[in-house]
Chains A and B, each alone.
Chain A
Amino acid sequence: MEEKKELENVETEEIATKAIDTSDTETPLDKNVRLMSPTRMLLRRFFRSKLSVTGLIMLVVLFAFCWLGPVVYQRWGETETDRTGNIEYADYAIESDDGDFIQIVITDNGINALAPPSADHFLGTDEQGMDIFTRLMYGGRLSLTISFLAVFLTSFWGIVLGGVAGFYGGAVDNIIMRICDVLICLPTLPLMLIIGTVLDANGVPSQYYIYLLMGLLSLFSWPGMARLVRGQILFLREQEYMVAAEAMGYSTPRRIFKHLIPNILPQILVSMTMSLGSMILYESTLSYLNLGVRIPFASWGTMVEVISKRSDILQNNFNVWGPPGVCIILAVLGFNFIGDGLRDALDPKQRR
């Protein structure tokens, strides 16, 4: 309870403006001061920034598109191939003794591959005749889910290990931090490629593949979060209120979870939002390198991957690889805008 009161922030601007008009009406000062909870102040600062609101809107739209889209638009399935076929006509002029003919060759391709955008396929079809618009929605589900899972796992390891290192200090701290040093020196992209190849070699079924990959990756990517948490805990541990909490005889878990963690939460939140963006990038990069989500399942990275094998698609069919790339950028941008806005809103030095 005690520190809650302390945290209640007073909007300084309000005092200043109100003080001027109250000089003649003579009401007590505290009536004119509005107390705001930290959460309300955070929200107010967050929504004042146009960038963070833009980011939020972008993400809400993307999420709605991916999760509600397939419910509303059920014309095509994720892996459904359009078998109506596009029929190609080619005519050749043939000269023979009997006179000139025109030979018409009709080819039925069986599947309607690489169709241009139309009413049937809003964004056309890919080289396997699957509807791009629909795959965009399913791919988004997968990409976003995976990045959330990966970030939560990574943060979990980071918070637990960083918390233990910071709180107990001594030998435990030393060991955990040395492990951090080692893991930070492992190059991320090559590491993911190696893990990907190892999983590939061991024949992991393709529907679990990406989840396993991101799960394993989280075992290597926690040091950033751990360092952040440890640093904050080392700082907070020496604060008076923590000494007071110890003097009051509170139990260790209570001190950690009720007094330390709430004070580190803001930084953790910012770092998690930012890493959501980078996880999407990693996932799509892996899929692009054919080590992520496997065809026929869709993910945004997999959908861009076609162009690394077929330069004709790169040149002629922007509708195949453009939209998923734009979606990746939008999602990452959204998370980064929100992260940036949160960082500003949570900065106690900020005056605005």
Chain B
Amino acid sequence: MVKYILKRIGMALLILLGVSFILYALLRCMPTDFIEQKIVNLATSGVKVTEEFKQQMYKTYGLDGNIVQGYFSWLGNVCRLDFGKSFISQREVVSEIFNADRMGTSFFVAAVAMVFEFLIAIPLGITAATHQYSVRDYVVTVLVIIGISLPSFFFGQVLKDLFANKLGWFPVSGMKDASITYANGFEALIDYLRHMFLPILTIFILRIGGRMRTTRTNMLEVLNSDYIRTARAKGLKEGKVIYKHAFRNTMIPLVTSLAGLIPALFSGAMLTEQVFDLTGIGNYALTAMTQGDIPVIMTYNMFLAFLSVTGMLLADLMYGVVDPRVKLA
């Protein structure tokens, strides 16, 4: 077991090296004067760019050397846990990305959406499977496909236009009302939740489809297996067959996917955050990418890659824990 984990961690490190090289090489394909231009543009809007900073930026990112040299100097800095400074805010990238506010917002939105996703998708998926080919199954299937077909930016804007602009039930965008001073913490909380409602709804609707589909497929597979026939043959009640015998085996892929989803909680939803103007990590990264802020782009993407590698590792380990038939070697 320990040997297996160590082997997997070694593999993960190799994958991360590969990912970082591809990212670095791609970013270096931007002409340096393009980045300089971006920074000069920013400088005219008030940010001070010193010559010293430019030199330091060149040195840190090896922008004057070739790609391979630059990559190794970047790697060396990373090994010393130095991820550099943002070109734009000139603060440490790590403190910018792992900012409690930003990460907190993204995490809150993703976590709440995920809880509702599981609470609603699993029962729906199960009824669709137990009533295969019925009207109910059809409706669920259509909803599933509609859910995975919606473009997040468009759907988010429609929700925003309808519920915020037209009906006025929710605030249009942002994190809190600037004009209101709260009498107590409870009011502040309510206001915060009102701002978060639409983004959470968007993410929830976009994701629920896939979850329902996997639950339905798993359940169908389990329901066709021999031990379910045996359970029915010995006269168990249908409810017991489904919720006790079948459901337990459906849980296996669900639990493993849950482990794989833990990292997704921290990565932030770029488009939804942009649409609703939340100050989450996704929105921040999106801005950095359009501005050519290389240190931030590099670190954020490595963070995402790190999360997905850990997610895969966690999911595989969970398989071993949940399913006694699976032996990790």
Which residues of A come within 8 Å of B, CB atoms? 51, 178-179, 181-187, 189-191, 193-195, 197-198, 201-202, 277, 281, 284-285, 288-290, 304, 307-308, 311, 314-315, 318, 321, 325, 328-329, 332-333, 336-337, 340, 352
The reply to whether B290 and A325 form a contact with Cβ atoms under 8 Å apart is no
Which residues of chain A come closer than 8 Å to B30, judged between CB atoms? 197-198, 201-202
Q: Are B301 and A329 in touch, CB under 8 angstroms?
A: no
- Is A332 in contact with B151, judged by CB distance below 8 angstroms? yes
Other A-B pairs, 16, CB within 8 Å; known A202-B31, A329-B149: A51-B142, A178-B14, A181-B18, A182-B18, A187-B301, A194-B26, A197-B289, A201-B34, A281-B149, A288-B154, A307-B157, A308-B274, A311-B172, A314-B165, A318-B161, A325-B151
B29 CB within 8 Å of chain A: yes
1/0 per position for B144-171, CB-CB distance to A under 8 A?
0110111111100110110001000000
Kindly identify which residue among A187, A197, A307 contacts B305, using a CB–CB cutoff of 8 Å: A187
- Please pick, from A183, A190, A307, the residue contacting B300 in the complex, using a CB distance under 8 A: A190
Q: How far is the CB of A153 from chain B (nearest CB, A)?
A: 18
**B27 at the binding interface (Cβ < 8 Å):** yes
Residue of B nearest to A324 (CB): B154
| Shortest Cβ distance from B224 into A: residue | A349
- Determine if B309 is an interface residue (Cβ-Cβ < 8 Å): yes
> What residues of chain B have their CB less than 8 Å away from a CB belonging to chain A?
11, 14-16, 18-19, 22-23, 26-27, 29-31, 34, 133, 138, 141-142, 145-146, 148-154, 157-158, 160-161, 165, 172, 267, 270-271, 274-275, 285-286, 289-290, 292, 297, 300-301, 304-305, 308-309
Q: How far is the CA of A328 from the CA of B292 in the complex (A)?
A: 29
Decide if B301 touches A333 in the complex (CB within 8 Å): no
- On chain A, the residues within 8 Å of B285 by CB distance are 190
Q: How far is the CB of B163 from chain A (nearest CB, A)?
A: 13
Q: What are 5 A-B interface contacts by the 8 Å CB criterion?
A: A185-B19, A194-B301, A288-B151, A307-B157, A329-B154
A289–B282 alpha-carbon span in the complex (Å):
14
Query: What CA separation (Å) do A201 and B27 show in the bound complex?
Result: 10
Choose among A189, A198, A336 the residue that contacts B26 (Cβ–Cβ < 8 A): A198
Contact yes or no, B151 A284, CB < 8 A: yes
A5 vs B31: C-alpha distance when bound (angstroms): 61
Of chain B, the residue at the smallest CB distance from A290 is B290
Contact of B151 among A51, A281, A340 (CB under 8 A): A281
Q: Is the CB of A304 within 8 A of B165?
A: no
Pick the contact of B289: A194, A325, A352 (CB < 8 A): A194
User: Contact check: which of B19, B275, B300 meets A186 at CB < 8 Å?
Assistant: B19
CB < 8 Å neighbour of B154 from A182, A183, A304, A315? A304
Number of residue pairs A-B, CB distance < 8 angstroms: 126
Whether B145 and A194, one on each chain, are in contact in the complex, defined by CB atoms closer than 8 angstroms, is: no
Q: How far is the CA of A197 from the CA of B286 in the complex (A)?
A: 12
A329 cross-chain contacts in B, Cβ below 8 A: 149-151, 154
A55 nearest CB neighbor, chain B only: B145
Measured between beta carbons, the chain B residues less than 8 angstroms from A311 are 172
List chain A residues, Cβ under 8 A from B274: 308
Q: Which of B138, B153, B172, B290 contacts A304 (CB 8 A)?
A: B153
Tell whether, in the assembled complex, residue A201 and residue B271 are in contact, meaning their CB atoms are under 8 Å apart.
no
Give the CA-CA distance A52 to B267 in the complex, in Å.
35
When distances are taken between beta carbons in the complex, the residues of chain B under 8 Å from A194 are 23, 26-27, 289, 297, 301
Most chain-B CB neighbours within 10 Å: which of A187, A281, A285, A332? A187
Question: Which of A182, A189, A202, A308 lies in contact with B15, CB distance below 8 A?
Answer: A182
Q: How far is the CB of B228 from chain A (nearest CB, A)?
A: 16
Select one of B146, B304, B305 contacting A333, CB under 8 A: B146
Give Cα distance in the complex from A261 to B198, angstroms.
47
- The answer to whether A289 and B290 touch across the interface, beta carbons within 8 angstroms, is yes
Please provide the 9 A-B residue pairs with the shortest distance between their CB atoms, ordered closest to farther.
A182-B18, A325-B154, A201-B34, A332-B149, A187-B304, A201-B30, A193-B289, A333-B149, A185-B305
Measured CA separation A340–B270 after assembly (Å): 28
**Complex Cα gap A80–B5 (Å):** 62
- Distance between Cα atoms of A281 and B142 in the complex (Å): 18
A193-B286, A325-B158 are known contacts. Are A182 and B22 too (CB-CB below 8 A)? Answer: yes
Alpha-carbon gap, A285 to B269, bound state (A)? 13
The answer to whether B292 and A201 have CB atoms under 8 Å apart is yes
Contacting residues, chain A, for B149 (C-beta < 8 A): 277, 281, 329, 332-333, 336
A-side contacts of B275, CB under 8 Å = 308
Residues of B within 8 A of A191 (CB): 26, 301
Checking B19, B270, B309 against A189 with a beta-carbon cut-off of 8 angstroms, the contacting residue is: B270
| Nearest residue, chain A, Cβ from B30 | A201
Chain B contacts for A285, CB-based, 8 A: 151-153, 271
A332 proximity list for chain B (CB < 8 A): 149-151
B295, chain A: closest CB distance, angstroms: 13
CA distance A183 to B21 in the complex (A): 11
Do the beta carbons of A202 and B289 come within 8 Å of each other?
Answer: no
A258 → chain B, closest Cβ, in Å?
A: 32
Bound CA span A332–B152, Å: 13
Which of the residues A184, A288, A333 comes within 8 Å of B153, measured between beta carbons? Answer: A288
Q: Which residues of A contact B151 (CB under 8 A)?
A: 281, 284-285, 288, 325, 328-329, 332
Closest to B152 in A: A285
Q: What residue of chain A has the Cβ atom nearest to residue B28's Cβ?
A: A198
Residues A337 and B145 in contact in the complex (CB < 8 Å), given A186-B22, A325-B151: yes
